[in-house]
Amino acid sequence: MLRFYTAGESHGKGLVGIMEGIPSGLAISSEDIDLDLKRRQQGHGRGGRMKIESDHAEIISGVRWGLTTGAPISLFIENRDWPNWSEAMSAQKNFTGSAQPVTRPRPGHADLAGAQKFAHRDIRNILERSSARETAMRVALGAVAKKFLATFDIRVGSFVVRIGNAAVKTVINTASGTDLLKLAKNAQASSVRCPEDNASAQMMAAIDAAARAGDTLGGRFTVFVLGAPAGLGSHTQWDRRLDGLMAQAMMSIQAIKAVEVGGGAGLAETPGSGIMDEIFYKGGKGFFRKSNNMGGIEGGMTNGMPVVVHASMKPIPTLKKPLRSVDIETKKPFKAAYERSDVCAVPAASIVAEAMAALVVSGVFLEKMGGDSLEETRRNYGSYREYLVQF
């Protein structure tokens, strides 16, 4: 079983992650993880913080001489801004009161509901943890999961398809792993992570216009997993269905408001005859499909096609344009003041989504294949693949 947790505040000392269940013998280094941390920090429309912080993951445990030992892996990412916050965010009692309490909840944030739920009069106790800074650690843990999956030729990728009104024009062939990989590769060259040059330019212009207007933008991205064998996940219980696990993983990313698997909402508008992915067979290759409207998941299990999930993100709730809210102490209305913030974080969210997809798929893969060492998992996987070809 693969389990993971994150801890840490946005302006605390740093972020902590613990991951348990990765077999022994996987080669992993801080450098591998930092590559993905860097990808999360890039993107047109990110705020000032991304310029001051260059994330680095320190491996604290579970790895010895470059290889996982099978023990829990723990990681630490320091918050570079910590020296400026060491009193305001101190764990020590003697610093109590060293920062003004935050009493003005921002619409669209966890601020008000969180303060009510946890009985806080200082909203900082909520916003520090609800901030998407936490996703840096998910990306770090996801990088380990990606490395694990890559040893079985399972690849995870993503690209942005919409920011505000600007969207890609290409009809994406989600049945083709080659096409999906090409789109993800093209997206790497774009600062909005969009595979089409024209749409990329329009997205950047839309972000610039929103920034000038003191506004923010959301968007939509696609995440895919290639090379997963049929049979990951299970139809037998609601909480073991892979579509459900994927949806929760995506939805758990701050500001994600909709998740679709394969053809998603569009499938509701089409007769069944036009969208089911018909089944074909070829000796040596086994069963296959020519279309992928189900996004590679049927009955909560992978069917051997690319797993394709789309997620939609709402606009960033912190705006330069003030929004109406009410102070929790005075009960007087005020207009929310601007803090350093992103104008659009859809490209970054797509990297977080890659990490979450990798963690979920690693979990169901390990559940199916088992193994305490990579060698054992490889053996099990090899025999399962042989079995599938003969099925």
Residues that bind ligand FMN (CB under 6 A): 47, 108-110, 130-132, 135, 253-255, 314, 316-318, 341-342, 345, 348-349, 352
Minimum separation from the CB atom of position 211 to ligand FMN (A): 12
In the bound state with ligand FMN, the residue whose beta carbon lies nearer, of 216 and 362, is 216
**What residues are paired with 76 via a beta bridge?**
16, 58
In the bound state with ligand FMN, the residue whose beta carbon lies nearer, of 203 and 253, is 253
Helix (H) or strand (E) holding 373: none
Q: Copy the structure tokens of residue 301.
A: 């299990």
In the bound state with ligand FMN, the residue whose beta carbon lies nearer, of 15 and 349, is 349
In the bound state with ligand FMN, the residue whose beta carbon lies nearer, of 196 and 342, is 342
Minimum separation from the CB atom of position 299 to ligand FMN (A): 29
Strand ranges, E, within 177-252: 219-226
Residues 6 or more apart whose Cβ sits within 8 Å of residue 340? 47, 48, 49
Looking at this protein, which amino acid is placed at residue 266?
G
Residue pair 223/157 in contact by the 8 Å Cβ criterion = yes
Minimum separation from the CB atom of position 77 to ligand FMN (A): 14
Q: How far apart are CA 173 and CA 193, in angstroms?
A: 18
Minimum separation from the CB atom of position 106 to ligand FMN (A): 7
CA distances (Å), origin 224, targets 45, 56, 220: 24, 26, 14
Minimum separation from the CB atom of position 116 to ligand FMN (A): 15
Minimum separation from the CB atom of position 351 to ligand FMN (A): 8
Minimum separation from the CB atom of position 352 to ligand FMN (A): 6
∠ CA(27), CA(374), CA(181), 5° rounding? 65
Q: How far apart are CA 56 and CA 161, in angstroms?
A: 29
Picking from 192, 211, 174, 201, the residue whose alpha carbon sits closest to that of residue 303 is: 174
In the bound state with ligand FMN, the residue whose beta carbon lies nearer, of 135 and 292, is 135
Helix (H, G, I), strand (E, B) or coil at 160: strand
In the bound state with ligand FMN, the residue whose beta carbon lies nearer, of 131 and 186, is 131
